Amino acid sequence: MVLDPLFMFVLLPDGWEVFGAALATLISNIASCIYMLYMLNKVSKTSALSIRISDVRGVKRVDMKGIFTVGVPSAILTGLFDVANIFLNALMAVHGDLALAAVGIVMKVERLPNAINIGICQGMLPIVAYNFSSGNRERMKSTINTARFYGLGISLLSLALFQAFAAPLVRIFLSTSAGDVEAALVTIGFAVVFIRIRCMASPFQFLNYHTSYCMQAMGDGFGTLLHAVVRELVFYIPFMFLLDRLAGENGLASALPVGEACGAAFALLLLKIRMGKKQK
């Protein structure tokens, strides 16, 4: 946050703002990575966490299999999320630069509730995993239900706020006081419509995150992978093409709530099957 304005408006000449923002991001990520590696090496002296080759060689094969069984599907899920955004940007670009800029603003606004809900799921994961492994199913179910309650509450609250304050939220990212005012107003108009459509996906997005993290906590790598593939490649991306053809840019925006709703229904079915297997 400090480096962005420094490189965009102080150190580099006019016209280099995008390059400056990219350079600031690169430097900050390198610095944070070095810091994390230093801290990981420091705590490895008294913790099971380690980056030392000698420690890695001592890990049992069954433990490595468990790590990759859960980790690889999670990585694929992240990759498919990026692939879906590539399709979204490519399809929205056909409707013009202003529509594309608008959906970019909306995706930034959406990150706040999504980040909070992902944080809830990440906090839930180790507790569910511990109780699943220890056989304490009552505590595991209580943790799952508690996380689901608060996550859905935050999702519904954000949905209401986005519906009520769509225009003020969008104007935080785009000013009409300078530059091409007409283009800014058109972009804001697109963004207000898009955010009111896409925010309908918020509860379903949380259910997708929540269920995926539950399956990861139970060591169900196949279920996590299957959910990721079906959610993005079977539902969301095909709905982009279908609804874009039927209703243009508004249909493209509608692909998110429709796709996430279908993905959430599939995810809940997978979770029910997974928990049912454990009960036998």
- Mean pLDDT, range 195-221, rounded to an integer: 92
Question: What's the mean per-residue pLDDT of the chain?
Answer: 88
Distances (CA, A) of 58 to 6, 41, 48, 219: 46, 17, 12, 22
pLDDT at 253: 94
Model confidence at 54, pLDDT cuts 50, 70, 90, reads low
pLDDT tens digit sequence for 128-167: 999 998 989 899 999 999 999 999 999 999 999 999 999 9
* Residue 87 scores a pLDDT above 80: yes
Cα–Cα distance between 126 and 128 in angstroms, integer? 5
- Mean pLDDT, range 47-60, rounded to an integer: 64
Neighbours of 109 (CB within 10 A): 20
Number of residues in the chain: 280
> Residue 23 corresponds to which amino acid?
L
Cα–Cα distance between 252 and 188 in angstroms, integer? 17
pLDDT at 43: 81
- Mean pLDDT, range 165-180, rounded to an integer: 81
Q: How far is CA 128 from the centre of its chain?
A: 21
pLDDT at 280: 43
Residue 111 token pair: 């990150």
* Residue 279 scores a pLDDT above 50: no
pLDDT at 150: 94
What does the DSSP assignment read for 213-260?
HHHHHTT-HHHHHHHHHIIIIIIIHHHHHHHHHHHHHHHHHHHHHHHH
Cα–Cα distance between 197 and 219 in angstroms, integer? 35
